[in-house]
Amino acid sequence: MRQQKHVRFDWAIKRLLKQRTNFVILEGFLSELIGEDIKILEIIDAEGLQENQEDKYNRVDVLVKDSKDELIIIEVQNSYAIDYFLRILYGISKAITEFINKGSAYGKIKKVISVNIVYFELGHGSDYVYHGTTKYHGIHDNKVLNLTAAQKRYFKKKQVQDIYPEIYLIKVNTFDDVAKSTLDEWIYFLKNSEIKEEFSAKGIKEADETLKVANMSDEERREYNRFVEVLSDRASIAETINFEAELKAKKLVAKANQEKEEAINKTIDKAIEAMITNTDLTDEIIAKTFSVKVERVREIRERMK
């Protein structure tokens, strides 16, 4: 394995990017992803939402408040979770309910953007970046339901979907390592922990300097190496489980095929026995009828004597 020049993004977001002086890095990533300039007012540590020590390495979860007073959840998930789509829903719901005062008008509910960086196959699709919003379509005319003029002033939004949560999914392992855009440059970093000299995405140059392994203290480097080792152990265990499951599945399929073939042969043998008993057909004709070798028919005839 080649030595990584930069630290992993999930490590950086836990240890380095929460520092105000490094907000520009996270702002750059979010700006490239969302497509507008994001200014961070505050990063709220959401580690307290984790239920156990296992999540320390498996998941990274931070909450960002931006200059529009909107909330951005950034979650990095390393291990496969079949219910991850619902985990996204839970995170959004928790953020909404925790950041509204009891008794406040619903208009005080904050807009939430959920950014999910996953290192496993999530759903079935060929792309590596997905964006989900909420729209209302008429079931008869298929037209989109819009805000009234008063609602636009009240919410300071143009469309209904601007009020509701947005979800971004980045399937890192699906990325083909070819950076065709500035967003791709960030995804290349997410996948490879490497920033190429020619990259020009927002915040990427600052990340190049700040996130270099060489700039870490001895203590940080030891802690980081431990972090990477644990992730490698988790990945190895998952790969072993998958391999053994596939091997077991192949054995079960082989056994099922064998049992099926035996059942078919028993059925054919009984049919041959019936034909020998009830007809005067030659062994050659019977064999041809059942598409078997004539020796098989002769063996059955011998057994029946």
CA–CA dist 153, 144 (Å, integer)? 19
Is 235 among the domain residues? no
Which of these three, 215, 232, 264, is where a domain ends?
Answer: 215
Give the DSSP per-residue string, 32-51: HHHTS---EEEEEE-GGG--
The two tokens of residue 46 are 């959401």
Report which secondary-structure segment, H or E, holds 74. strand 71-77
Is 74 among the domain residues? yes
Tell me the average confidence (pLDDT) per consecutive run of 10 residues in the chain, 305 residues long: 72 83 94 95 66 51 89 90 92 88 80 94 94 96 96 94 96 95 96 92 92 69 72 71 83 90 91 90 90 90 84
> Which pLDDT score, from 0 to 100, does residue 52 have?
47
CA–CA dist 9, 182 (Å, integer)? 17
**37 and 122 co-located in one domain:** yes
**186 and 106 co-located in one domain:** yes
**57 and 184 co-located in one domain:** yes
**266 and 191 co-located in one domain:** no
Strand partners, 132: 167
Report which secondary-structure segment, H or E, holds 113. strand 112-118
A 10 A CB-CB count for 280 gives 6
Is 231 among the domain residues? no
**Considering Cα of 261, then 265, then 271, then 275, what sign does the dihedral take?**
positive
State the total domains in the chain.
2
Is 291 among the domain residues? yes
Do the beta carbons of residue 276 and residue 269 sit within 8 Å? no
**18 and 151 co-located in one domain:** yes
Cα distance from N-terminal residue to C-terminal residue, the chain = 70
Is 227 among the domain residues? no
Which of these three, 170, 200, 215, is where a domain ends?
Answer: 215
Which of these three, 178, 200, 215, is where a domain ends?
Answer: 215
**72 and 142 co-located in one domain:** yes
**209 and 246 co-located in one domain:** no
Instruction: Give the relative orientation of helices 23-34 and 182-192 as an angle to the nearest 10 degrees.
Output: 120
Is 2 among the domain residues? no
**206 and 60 co-located in one domain:** yes
Is 222 among the domain residues? no
**271 and 206 co-located in one domain:** no
> Which pLDDT score, from 0 to 100, does residue 46 have?
57
The type of residue at 15 is: R
Is 232 among the domain residues? no
pTM of the predicted model as reported, rounded to 2 decimal places = 0.72
Instruction: Give the relative orientation of helices 283-290 and 294-304 as an angle to the nearest 10 degrees.
Output: 120
**74 and 141 co-located in one domain:** yes
> Which pLDDT score, from 0 to 100, does residue 176 have?
95
**36 and 97 co-located in one domain:** yes
**59 and 165 co-located in one domain:** yes
| Domain range for 262 | 240-304
Strand partners, 6: 212
